[in-house]
A and B are shown apart, each in its own frame.
Chain A
């Protein structure tokens, strides 16, 4: 049976709100981090092997595309971390009231921005 799936709701019937947007973002960043685990394994192997493999890997990571990927993954990492803590709080039974959910949602966004900025400031200043 052909039934419409949820994405068809989006532009017309479904009004975007921060709670659902953050939920979708949690899943997207999770997928991004899973893809990033390929780079993590690759980097660990490169450090272990040394020589030309490390040189190639390092050159890729230091290239504009490499830095952009690392930046996006750092955003995904910090977001998924903060949002994950929010989810664990829900699992423990806290923060279900709508005002609380909105507040914790904005807190997650602020913490993500702060951690990302601090991390990259450290990289560029250290």
Chain B
């Protein structure tokens, strides 16, 4: 590490002194937290996504009873809920960055962001409720 410093370590995001100054004088919004949330969820989604994809492949030709039994197991319940929540949080950050690029009026941007947030909350709530219902066995 010492002989060839990482380029990322040379940027403001890694330099704590620069970071403090940027926090103080820079944008008053939440860009850095959002940037970190996007990377954090990205890292979490590597194992969670692979687990979910592998599970889907195993279930691809199965019936509802098999799928429900899988989803009701504690490990699947936990990991699928985490996958959905991390995926939606990651997707929300990504979609917001797309909207910021292509929606050029303040009102339009606000409306689009509210819509996307509403859809994300509904999808997340429905997914978690569905999985928990099976897990709790009702």
Contacts and interface: CB of A to CB of B under 8 A. Distances in A.
Interface of A: 27, 30-31, 33-34, 37-38, 40-41, 44-50, 54, 58, 74, 77, 81, 84-85, 87-88, 91-94, 96, 119, 122-123, 126
B interface, over-half SS:
helix
Nearest to B124: A41
Contact of B39 (A30, A34, A88): A88
B64 A58 contact: yes
Interface residues of B, number: 38
Contacts of B124: 41
B84 A48 contact: no
B6 A30 contact: no
Given A44-B131, A50-B68, A54-B64, A31 B95 contact: yes
Interface string B51-78: 0010001101100100110010000000
A122 B57 contact: yes
Contacts of B131: 44, 48
B94 A47 contact: no
Given A37-B88, A81-B46, A88-B42, A123 B60 contact: yes
A93 B53 contact: no
Contact of B68 (A48, A93, A122): A48
